[in-house]
Amino acid sequence: MAEQEEGNIRQNYNNATTGLNLDQTLNQIPKGKLTYALNAAVENFDSNSVNYQNEPGNKFCLSFPDSYVLIGEHFIIEKNKHIFFITNPATANSQIGYMDNNDCLYRILVNAPCLNFNVDYPIHKIVHRITNCSTEIYWTDGFNPRRYLDIDNVPKVLKPGTDLCDAEYTDELDCNQLKLQPNFTIPEIRIHDVVSGGNLISGTYQFAIQYSDPAGNPFTSYYSVTNPTPIADEFVTSVNFNYPVGKSIVVDVSNLETSGQFEYFNLAVIKTINGVSSVQLVGTYFIDNIQKQITYTGQFTIDLAIEDIFEKFPFYEIAQDLTAVQDVLVWDQLTSIDRINYQQIASAITLQWESWRIPATENYADELNATNLRG
């Protein structure tokens, strides 16, 4: 088989690893050398590879709004986009802007005082992540909470009273949604009723709730574990407490987060049957109102572990350093809030008795009395 002759056009470029060669012809140049490199640097902008590229210039390109000071900048090489963090020390206003394709035009991405940028805390730690749906930038300044922003979908404040299924937003930036660990309302669960019809097994049932994504992946810990609700058939006498009971539990969920920070929540059930506890995910539900009513008939989607209910995610407000390793964020020198000693507060509380008289026609055989009126 005849060898294929190599033409003058080469598909592979030479890396800048061994320097320049000005003496030999093009076909004699070994791999790793170049014959010409005007205004070239041997390291690229992101320092992830070693190649020849143009030396950055210092020609004036763009100016920021009057009285604004640059405190941080980041280059998204995949999109050829420069991100700028600027602030006005006199008015305490802050902006995040950008420049596309080195066109020397400054554009405002977000403009809000709640960004709280400070010239004494410059933003040197910035990384970005590009997905199929978004371009996210993450940053820390050691002064404000850890934050991120999807530059393709800037979060806005939800209009009061708007329908969550057809949400309308204001032009105001929702700075709470920029936080990696945002502030949110804790949902509450109350056992509303026990009704006939269902596939419950004799035992006790408790419920817990957490915010999640549409697939049920958790965003928060589980909250608001209810008191045990006993389910039994008063006309059945058996040594085994695992017989079927034709009842269902109606659960009221209230105080849901409706700012747009979370759109779904998980409802879990803790079942104790014959002294053995198990945890199951009842379902993942869309938040379309501040409250929701769910009837649990015994259905579930997946089994959970009891550790899932008691797991508490740590809260870290401020970080001093940030980097990314293969699309994994690495935060350094994290600062958490002080843990409050509630014992000192509890010792100063003066307790008052409250009594509730159960009517003569009722007793603790009523599931709601046993759940909500337990001392």
In one-letter notation, the amino acid at residue 271 is: K
The residue among 311, 328, 330, 317 whose CA lies nearest residue 218 is 311
The residue among 334, 278, 335 whose CA lies nearest residue 306 is 278
Task: Find all residues with CB under 8 Å of 162, minimum gap 6, and list them.
Answer: 168, 169
Rounded-to-5 percentages of helix, strand, coil across the chain = 10, 40, 55
The pLDDT tens digits of the residues spanning 291-329 come to: 999 999 998 889 999 998 988 888 888 999 998 887 788
User: SS3 for 97?
Assistant: strand
Confidence of residue 218 (pLDDT cuts 50, 70, 90): very high
Stronger pLDDT, 279 or 312, i.e. the higher one: 279
The pLDDT tens digits of the residues spanning 164-182 come to: 778 788 889 999 999 998 8
CA distance 185 to 257: 6
Averaged confidence pLDDT in the chain: 85
Q: Which helix (H) or strand (E) holds 371?
A: helix 367-372
pLDDT at 18 over 90: no
